[in-house]
């Protein structure tokens, strides 16, 4: 089973790297224009292409690049002259911290909200939470971010609008600089999670074993948190894994908006400077991350539901 999964994982990654390499290289636009300027002669361009190996057939270049990937060599950006792997290692912690903070905030608020709504399904609190969730879900991430900056950074001046303090420099300032971006990124996730949990909890609360727990005189609070929550968490766990793709798209916007030096920002900058190699490196990193997280999600299932352990 594990071997099958790993094989599948390898195939997915192979296809993803191939498609991303081919697609990006087939697109019009040429790094030599960016490097030498529009006035460069055709000879100078051809010379640079040869130096960069761009005159080789596509498949050969892909093979060489893939071989490098396996040994951890993502190539060196022809634009910035910095090895792509180095750049990624430097920026990854920022993006990871942002992602983790956003997920923690989203889950930390979504679970109590989902439980509260399910417990009073159809009542005023449930209706209010559902409406709020719908509103959050319908607010684009950049709108949330801009509005939060307008409120907290411009009007009240309690949090910085942009900038980043690494965790290693100062923990307090780090948390201050990650707070607004994380809330921005987590808002829509929270709405999704709360809604999923609410729906599944309502279904679980109609199960016989919940009625029997009530028949044993257990308190509603105990039944909700100790009996009903875990069997209702499967969809939530799935969503956490699947939403990662959307969340990474979100980091591109959030990091640009808040000026965070993460992978998302790197993607935007490299795209504007036609830095294919760096974009490809980012795409590989994100795809591997996505596939690995969903691999981990499958393992979490077993922890949530013992019936899955047998399979």
Give, as ranges, the residues between 181 and 200 that touch other proteins (CB under 8 A): 195, 198-199
DSSP 151: I
**3 state DSSP class of 61:** helix
Applying CB under 8 A, which part among 45-53, 61-69, 122-130, 177-185 lies near other proteins?
A: 122-130
122 or 171, CB closer to other proteins?
122
**3 state DSSP class of 217:** coil
- Residue length of the chain: 311
Element (H, E) at 188: helix 171-204
Rounded Cα gap, residues 242 and 171, in angstroms: 30
Least distance (Å) from other proteins to the CB of residue 140?
4
For residue 200, which of 289, 115, 284 has the smallest C-alpha distance?
A: 115
Count residues binding other proteins (CB under 8 A). 79
DSSP 231: G
- Does 50 participate in binding other proteins (rule CB under 8 A)? no
Q: Per CB under 8 A, which of residues 123..182 are in contact with other proteins?
A: 123-124, 126-127, 130-131, 134-135, 137-143, 146-147, 149-150, 154
- Does 279 participate in binding other proteins (rule CB under 8 A)? yes
Buried b (16+ CB within 10 A) or exposed e, 264-301: bbbbebbbebbbbbbbbbbbbbbbbbbbebbeebeebb
127 or 171, CB closer to other proteins?
127
Rounded Cα gap, residues 267 and 245, in angstroms: 15
- Does 87 participate in binding other proteins (rule CB under 8 A)? no
- Does 207 participate in binding other proteins (rule CB under 8 A)? yes
Least distance (Å) from other proteins to the CB of residue 220?
8
Rounded Cα gap, residues 218 and 208, in angstroms: 14
Rounded Cα gap, residues 215 and 218, in angstroms: 8
- Does 265 participate in binding other proteins (rule CB under 8 A)? no
143 or 171, CB closer to other proteins?
143
For residue 259, which of 188, 187, 184, 177 has the smallest C-alpha distance?
A: 177
Least distance (Å) from other proteins to the CB of residue 267?
6
Q: Which residues pair with residue 83 across a beta bridge?
A: 76
**The one among 121, 125, 175, 300 contacting other proteins by CB under 8 A:** 121
Applying CB under 8 A, which part among 98-106, 163-171, 176-184, 218-226 lies near other proteins?
A: 218-226
Q: Per CB under 8 A, which of residues 230..259 are in contact with other proteins?
A: 230-231, 242, 245, 248-249, 252-253, 256-257
- Does 290 participate in binding other proteins (rule CB under 8 A)? yes
Least distance (Å) from other proteins to the CB of residue 106?
17
Rounded Cα gap, residues 114 and 225, in angstroms: 11
**3 state DSSP class of 77:** coil
Least distance (Å) from other proteins to the CB of residue 154?
5
- Does 52 participate in binding other proteins (rule CB under 8 A)? no
**The one among 6, 7, 10, 19 contacting other proteins by CB under 8 A:** 19
């Amino acid at each position: 089973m594990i071997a099958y999964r790993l094989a599948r994982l390898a195939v997915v990654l192979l296809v993803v790297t191939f498609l991303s390499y081919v697609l990006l290289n087939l697109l019009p636009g040429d790094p030599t224009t960016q490097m030498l300027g529009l006035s460069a002669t055709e000879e100078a361009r051809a010379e640079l292409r040869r130096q960069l190996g761009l005159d080789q057939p596509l498949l050969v270049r892909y093979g060489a690049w893939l071989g490098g990937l396996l040994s951890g060599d993502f190539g060196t950006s022809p634009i910035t002259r910095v090895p792509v792997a180095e750049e990624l290692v430097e920026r990854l912690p920022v993006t990871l911290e942002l992602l983790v903070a956003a997920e923690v905030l989203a889950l930390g608020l979504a679970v109590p909200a989902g439980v509260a709504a399910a417990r009073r399904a159809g009542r005023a609190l449930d209706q209010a939470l559902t409406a709020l969730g719908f509103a959050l879900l319908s607010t684009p991430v950049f709108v949330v971010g801009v509005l939060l900056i307008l409120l907290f950074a411009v009007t009240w001046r309690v949090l910085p609008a942009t900038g980043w303090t690494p965790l290693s420099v100062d923990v307090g300032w780090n948390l201050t600089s990650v707070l607004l971006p994380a809330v921005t990124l987590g808002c829509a996730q929270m709405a999704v999670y709360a809604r999923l949990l609410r729906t599944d909890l309502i279904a679980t609360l109609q199960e016989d074993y919940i009625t029997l727990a009530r028949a044993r005189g257990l308190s509603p609070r105990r039944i909700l948190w100790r009996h009903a929550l875990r069997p209702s968490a499967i969809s939530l766990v799935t969503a956490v894994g699947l939403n990662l793709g959307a969340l990474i798209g979100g980091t591109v916007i959030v990091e640009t908006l808040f000026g965070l030096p993460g992978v998302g920002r790197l993607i935007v900058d490299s795209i504007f400077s036609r830095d294919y190699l760096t974009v490809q490196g980012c795409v590989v990193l994100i795809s591997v991350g996505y596939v690995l997280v969903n691999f981990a999600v499958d393992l979490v299932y077993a922890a949530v539901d013992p019936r899955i352990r047998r399979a």
